[in-house]
Amino acid sequence: MKIRLGILGYGNLGRGVQYAASLCEDMEVAAVFTRRDPASVKTVLPVKVEHTDALASYVGKIDVLILCGGSATDLPVQSVEAVRLFNTVDSFDTHAKIPAYFAALDRAGKEAGHLGVMSVGWDPGLFSLARAYFTTLPGTGEAYTFWGKGVSQGHSDAIRRVAGVKDARQYTVPVESALERVRSGENPQLTTREKHTRECYVVAEEGADLARIEREIKEMPDYFADYDTTVHFISEEELRAKHGGIPHGGFVLRAGKSAAGNDYLMEFSLKLGSNPEFTSGVLVAYARAVHRLYGEGKTGAVTVFDIAPKYLSPLSEEELRKTLL
């Protein structure tokens, strides 16, 4: 019997989950849930679309609900409500709030007898795994994370709020020389400015004061003031043609010396044509894991740290040992 998925929220992430599940022979999507008028939602592949009000009527018809809303306002409310009805997977990524979010999800899941895996994707997610595996090795050396080159939605939005800006795209770019210093085993102390630069492609309104826009972007606290920021003014056509995608990626590295003084370097990197779609693929793999762990009686909240790799794979344990060990 296939694992029956529900998709809550149908933006980039929800569409990606539907695509990814379509490649998994052991999965099917039972329904997509939206706060919009279901009739207005065009799906990338055929599927039943329901209003979120209908969620409770799917109890018994869905094995795992994948939450595809945002971390800021959607997930903190949705996850706790959803785990009372279903097993869940989400991509919560507001780092400072992880302990409180975990506690709430764990309590609700245990009360309801369901399992929720939180903070799944590539960071948090695969990058968290790399940091965890890398730092278990006895030896000197910190784990470093660099992001990019890739589009930051939050920073792009921040630029769009500047007066006179019509549209914008912001790329986070890792500083190659900083990466090299880490790879060398130097274990440098790196400031925010030394790790990443920010490249902004901005479409200004006609007649806008470009110098003022550039200054306001570069001086924006939290978002840009601590970085070396470059601002390029381009046309709307160029933005659409050259900056329409949502690529991202990054690096997790640990370099140092082992106990006897031998050098080592561990490096994990991702280069992603679509940030949300890659995240969706990871969500789907963890939906499989949640379904299996729930079948073993596990309830409450878990993270990627709590889940053995075998639970993610469509292969059997025997096949895994034979083909991938």
Residues 224-283 that bind a second copy (CB under 8 A): 249, 258-260, 262-274, 277-278, 281-282
For a second copy, the closer of residues 27 and 55 by Cβ is 27
Burial class of 261 by CB neighbour count within 10 A (0 to 12, 13 to 18, 19+): exposed
Residue 191 near a second copy by CB under 8 A = no
Q: How far apart are CA 322 and CA 325, in angstroms?
A: 6
| Binders in 293-312 for a second copy, by CB under 8 A | 303-310, 312
Residue 113 near a second copy by CB under 8 A = no
Give me the torsion for CA of 272, 273, 277, 280, rounded to 10°: -10
Q: How far apart are CA 292 and CA 121, in angstroms?
A: 19
Q: How far apart are CA 198 and CA 147, in angstroms?
A: 11
Q: Which amino acid is at 290?
A: V
For a second copy, the closer of residues 51 and 97 by Cβ is 97
One DSSP character per residue, 198-247 reads EEEEEEEPTT--HHHHHHHHHT-TTTTTTSEEEEEE--HHHHHHHS-SB-
State the nearest-atom distance from the C-beta of 194 to a second copy, in Å: 21
For a second copy, the closer of residues 92 and 227 by Cβ is 92
Q: Cα 186 to chain center, whole Å?
A: 30
Decide if 122 contacts 278 (C-beta within 8 A). Answer: yes
Residue 135 near a second copy by CB under 8 A = yes
| 119 contacts: CB under 8 Å, gap ≥ 6 | 90, 91, 92, 93, 98, 125, 128, 303, 304
Q: How far apart are CA 278 and CA 240, in angstroms?
A: 22
State the nearest-atom distance from the C-beta of 151 to a second copy, in Å: 13
By CB under 8 A, name the one of 86, 102, 147, 224 that touches a second copy.
102
Residue 33 near a second copy by CB under 8 A = no
Q: How far apart are CA 58 and CA 70, in angstroms?
A: 22
Residue 19 near a second copy by CB under 8 A = yes
Q: Is the dihedral of CA 286, 320, 28, 113 positive or negative?
A: negative
Tokens 């994948």: give the residue: 66
Residue 208 near a second copy by CB under 8 A = no
Residue 166 near a second copy by CB under 8 A = no
| Binders in 57-96 for a second copy, by CB under 8 A | 95
Tokens 């592949």: give the residue: 45
By CB under 8 A, name the one of 131, 155, 196, 291 that touches a second copy.
131
By CB under 8 A, name the one of 23, 53, 73, 221 that touches a second copy.
23
By CB under 8 A, name the one of 73, 136, 189, 192 that touches a second copy.
136
By CB under 8 A, name the one of 66, 80, 129, 231 that touches a second copy.
129
Sole window of 66-74, 134-142, 207-215, 222-230 interacting with a second copy (rule: CB under 8 A)? 134-142
Sole window of 47-55, 130-138, 187-195, 200-208 interacting with a second copy (rule: CB under 8 A)? 130-138
Q: How many residues bind a second copy (CB under 8 A)?
A: 71
Residue 59 DSSP code: B
The token pair that represents 178 in the structure block: 């900083």
State the nearest-atom distance from the C-beta of 106 to a second copy, in Å: 11
State the nearest-atom distance from the C-beta of 134 to a second copy, in Å: 9
By CB under 8 A, name the one of 87, 128, 152, 299 that touches a second copy.
128
